[in-house]
Amino acid sequence: MNLETFRYDNRIVRAFAIATIVWGIVGMLAGLLAALQLFWPGANFDLAYTTFGRVRPLHTNAVVFAFVGNAMFMGIYYSLQRLCKARMFSDRLSWANFWGWQGIIVAAAVTLLSGFTTSKEYAELEWPIDIAIAVVWVIFTINLLGTIVKRREKHMYVAIWFYIATAITVAVLHIGNSIAMPAGWLKSYPVYAGVQDALVQWWYAHNAVAFFLTTPFLGLMYYFLPKAAERPVFSYRLSIIHFWGLIFLYIWAGPHHLLYTALPDWAQSLGMVFSVMLVAPSWGGMLNGLLTLRGAWHKVREEPMLKFMVVALTAYGMATLEGPLLSIKSVNALSHYTDWTVAHVHTGALGWNGFLAFSMLYWLFPKLWNTKLYSVKLANWHFWIAILGMMFYIVPMYWSGVTQGLMWKEFTSDGFLQYPNFLETVLQLVPMYGLRAVGGSLYIVGVLFMVFNLWQTARAGQFVPDVEAQAVPLRSQPAHVESGPIYKHRWLESRVVLFTVLSLVAILIGGAVEIIPLYLIKSNVPTIASVKPYTPLEVLGRDLYIREGCVGCHSQMIRPFRSETERYGEYSKAGEFVYDHPFLWGSKRTGPDLHRIGGKYADAWHFNHMEDPRTMSPGSLMPRYAWLLTQKLDTNSLPARISALRKVGVPYEVGYEQGQAQQDLAAQAAKIVTNLKQGSVESAADREIIALIAYLQRLGTDIKAVAPPAAQAATSTVNQP
Amino acid sequence: MIKNVLSDIGGIGLYGVISVCLFFVIFSGALVWAFLLRKPHLNALSQLPLNDGSHENSQKGNPDHE
């Protein structure tokens, strides 16, 4: 036998491990700050940079892309080399991947806190950073596929399938959802508008959960669990079915984020059906993992890594049962826009991703430093504190979600809303928000225990930068002589390019069938003649709404339920959003829906409310936005913005931005200043607040100008309270 | 309200049918494929994480599982 000697690269694994821990703490602290702000408005510090609307996307991006992202790279860089019996394809690419990713994270943190955001959930970063992400992702993919190609192991273990699916799908999703027209270095408008933008965004966001938070971690589970349990996976057959079932079903389920919205009904039903079907492969995978421990449960008692892994799998099972449940339209009618969704995603984030990342860290540190874990007892403390923290987080959020959902829908015996004031339903939740912050704090304390434990472990050991290994190169391995179905199977699983193409086809078919009909809609959305493009002042106001992250707490999508039309007014129509680049439907109502806010209050009310919400709504949890009253509106960027919007299809006349737009802006601003005077408020016309008021007063009013025939014909609402 | 949005696209129901048929074909294919595999081969595959050619982890798994 022609044995080759080679070395596995541990340095890159160590770098990603440290990054995982550092960004994990940053992301969780940002989450804790956001949690405090939700019941204690003072924690916004009256600073634009630290206000909830900007902290929340920082938290989600830091946790998803920085913490989980680095943990994913850590696990893949460790396991891939060993499964391929080869060092990474290129050390240079490995480090370009590492430093590129950390650079993107820093750029993300700085721009998000500075208010540069696209507002699209989990895709908030502006276009130059999006390009950087695409480049780094391509580097990672080349390194991944290159390593697989030069492997010394003929067969690709199932974990590698999950890694390949992750690499190609995330690339497709990221590029598909990020196509935008720049209107400056850190400002862009998506090419899609309204309903189309919503569907593309949730096709992306849903599958980002699937292919960034789920498939790579399933691959890691299939590697690290057998490794730690020192026994092979329960059923390799089941893992094959798990893989193909999962990647083929996930891609269709995105529309379940848009149930009862203005999205076409067929797409909603498609999303719902495929979501329910997803239970099967998800639970197949979970059971496959748990049953791997059959006969080895005593090891779970002794090995902290396995404890975390078991809870991670259980949380995966819970979240993947609950997800389909929430996708059923009648359940979603209650759960959507409430904290129930928050509870659901945190079962996944804290339980599945968090615990699996901790599990890998506890296992890898002793291996990388060639020693034993400093303290098993301390790891057990971490385990129990994290469980407690998770419970204190998730249970109050369920309570809060169901409470608020029911309160929104409660009618008196006379047929009026029981709680017509939205704030009443929010104040009911404050104790739950307090408990949630306790839960989050406990979880972070647990992480600090882990940091100390791992630090001491590394100190006690000696880092092993390279691990020597031996294997026979593929060219020297005997060719297969069998025939029949086995041969076919081996033929596929040993061909990385073919495998990659097949996975790509599987996800592209799903995406295409979902999205192509939406392109046909453009000419089929009933045109509402009175819906017009935003005025220049409103465009800038809308961009301020985006900058401050208002969409994090306020939806702009009134669902066709009596409980919503009573509270907010006429339900939202697809035709009303044709000029909305991006759509701002939102996914959570910490504050009320704003789609019909236009004309509801006087300009002065908005002015005072933005200065201090509690003067107009005593007890309100909304942060103060006092800086909008003093900061000068940037009108220099107006021509670039109008021009970019025209390029993506908003019918502004050619040359409108050269002078006329500025005049229209000044005239509208002067009118608002006059209105404010009537409300005893003095303001200069060139302040940001004026633009924001202009936008808010426009919201949802076009439809009232002339009642369109379609709206008149369909005034009945869905028979749902 | 939703029907009036798409009433003009002919054969819109076809998209749902295509998706279910595709899923059925591919999922059935994966099932058949998985069940045609022979146990010794599956055992060899499931052993892959346990033997990486290094001396880091010398213990082998229990080959009783498929």
- Average pLDDT rounded to a whole number, residues A256-275: 82
B10 touches chain A (CB under 8 A): no
| Closest residue on chain A to B45 (Cα) | A157
Give the minimum alpha-carbon distance from B40 to chain A in angstroms, rounded to a whole number.
Answer: 11
Alpha carbon distance A419, A425 (integer Å): 7
Chain A hits for B41, CB-CB cut-off 8 Å, are 486, 489-490
Does pLDDT of A712 surpass 80? no
Position A642, amino acid: I
Of A236, A269, A574, which has the smallest distance from its Cβ to B5's Cβ? A574
A296-311 pLDDT per residue, tens: 899 999 899 999 999 9
pLDDT band at A522 (very low <50, low <70, confident <90, very high): low
Of B7, B45, B62, which has the smallest distance from its Cβ to A157's Cβ? B45
CB A426 within 8 A of CB A590: yes
Give the minimum alpha-carbon distance from B3 to chain A in angstroms, rounded to a whole number.
Answer: 7
Residue A602's SS3 state is coil
| Closest residue on chain B to A717 (Cα) | B1
Identify which of A630, A538, A555 has the alpha carbon closest to the alpha carbon of residue A592: A555
CB–CB of A232 and B41 under 8 A?
no
Alpha carbon distance A253, A232 (integer Å): 32
Chain B hits for A520, CB-CB cut-off 8 Å, are 9
- Average pLDDT rounded to a whole number, residues A671-698: 97
CB–CB of B65 and A233 under 8 A?
yes
| Closest residue on chain A to B61 (Cα) | A231
CB contacts < 8 Å between A and B, how many? Answer: 165
CB–CB of A710 and B4 under 8 A?
yes
Looking at residue A431, its pLDDT comes to 97
B30 touches chain A (CB under 8 A): yes
Residue A444's SS3 state is helix
Chain A hits for B45, CB-CB cut-off 8 Å, are 155, 157-158, 236
Q: How many CB atoms lie within 10 A of CB A45?
A: 13
Higher per-residue pLDDT: A616 or B60: A616
For this complex, say whether ipTM is above 0.90.
no
B9 touches chain A (CB under 8 A): yes
Looking at residue A161, its pLDDT comes to 93
B40 touches chain A (CB under 8 A): no
CB–CB of B54 and A82 under 8 A?
yes
CB–CB of A264 and B5 under 8 A?
yes
A332-362 pLDDT per residue, tens: 999 999 999 999 999 999 999 999 999 999 9
CB–CB of A517 and B9 under 8 A?
yes
B58 touches chain A (CB under 8 A): no
Does pLDDT of A516 surpass 80? no
**The pair of three-digit structure tokens given for residue B31, joined into one six-digit string:** 């099932």
Looking at residue A707, its pLDDT comes to 52
| Closest residue on chain A to B13 (Cα) | A266
Looking at residue A493, its pLDDT comes to 62
Indicate left, alpha or beta for A307 from its phi (over 0: left) and psi (-120 to 50: alpha). Answer: alpha
Looking at residue A247, its pLDDT comes to 84
Chain A hits for B59, CB-CB cut-off 8 Å, are 230
Looking at residue A260, its pLDDT comes to 85
B11 touches chain A (CB under 8 A): no
Does pLDDT of A235 surpass 90? yes
Does pLDDT of A713 surpass 80? no
Burial A446-472 (b: 16+ CB within 10 A, else e): bbebbbebbebbbeebeebeebebebb
B24 touches chain A (CB under 8 A): no
CA distances from A468 to A271, A311, A379, B33, B48 (A): 48, 33, 30, 37, 18
Residue A366's SS3 state is helix
Looking at residue B23, its pLDDT comes to 77
- Average pLDDT rounded to a whole number, residues A473-482: 69
CB–CB of B9 and A152 under 8 A?
no
Does pLDDT of A252 surpass 90? no
CB A88 within 8 A of CB A143: yes
Does pLDDT of A319 surpass 70? yes
CB–CB of B49 and A249 under 8 A?
no
| Closest residue on chain B to A156 (Cα) | B45
Give the minimum alpha-carbon distance from A277 to chain B in angstroms, rounded to a whole number.
Answer: 11
pLDDT band at B5 (very low <50, low <70, confident <90, very high): very low
A146-171 pLDDT per residue, tens: 999 999 998 899 999 999 999 999 99
Backbone φ and ψ of A467, nearest 5°: -115, 125
- Average pLDDT rounded to a whole number, residues A39-59: 97
Higher per-residue pLDDT: A295 or A142: A142
CB–CB of A232 and B49 under 8 A?
yes
| Closest residue on chain A to B40 (Cα) | A486
CB–CB of B48 and A153 under 8 A?
yes
A534-566 pLDDT per residue, tens: 999 999 999 999 999 999 999 999 999 999 999
Looking at residue A706, its pLDDT comes to 61
B6-56 pLDDT per residue, tens: 444 556 667 767 777 877 887 888 888 888 888 998 999 999 999 888 876
CB–CB of A710 and B15 under 8 A?
no
Alpha carbon distance B10, B1 (integer Å): 18
Looking at residue A38, its pLDDT comes to 97
CB A629 within 8 A of CB A611: yes
Of B26, B45, B54, which has the smallest distance from its Cβ to A236's Cβ? B45
| Closest residue on chain A to B23 (Cα) | A248
Of A237, A470, A509, which has the smallest distance from its Cβ to B42's Cβ? A237
Burial A272-309 (b: 16+ CB within 10 A, else e): bbbbbbbbbbbebbbbbbbebbeeeeebbeebbbbbbb
Looking at residue A714, its pLDDT comes to 43
Looking at residue A477, its pLDDT comes to 77
B44 touches chain A (CB under 8 A): yes
A92-104 pLDDT per residue, tens: 999 999 999 999 9
Indicate left, alpha or beta for A417 from its phi (over 0: left) and psi (-120 to 50: alpha). Answer: beta
Residue A496's SS3 state is helix
CB–CB of A227 and B50 under 8 A?
yes
Of B1, B34, B57, which has the smallest distance from its Cβ to A240's Cβ? B34
Give the minimum alpha-carbon distance from B21 to chain A in angstroms, rounded to a whole number.
Answer: 12
pLDDT band at A501 (very low <50, low <70, confident <90, very high): confident
A396-421 pLDDT per residue, tens: 999 999 999 999 999 999 999 999 99
Question: Taking every pair of C-alpha atoms in chain A, what is the biggest distance, in angstroms?
Answer: 92
Query: Comparing A203-212, A483-492, B16-25, which segment has the lowest mean pLDDT?
Result: A483-492
Looking at residue B7, its pLDDT comes to 43
**pTM (two decimals):** 0.93
Identify which of A178, A186, A78 has the alpha carbon closest to the alpha carbon of residue A137: A178
Of A83, A292, A521, which has the smallest distance from its Cβ to B5's Cβ? A521
B65 touches chain A (CB under 8 A): yes
Chain A hits for B15, CB-CB cut-off 8 Å, are 266, 270, 513, 517
B17 touches chain A (CB under 8 A): no
A416-468 pLDDT per residue, tens: 999 999 999 999 999 999 999 999 999 999 999 999 999 999 999 999 999 99
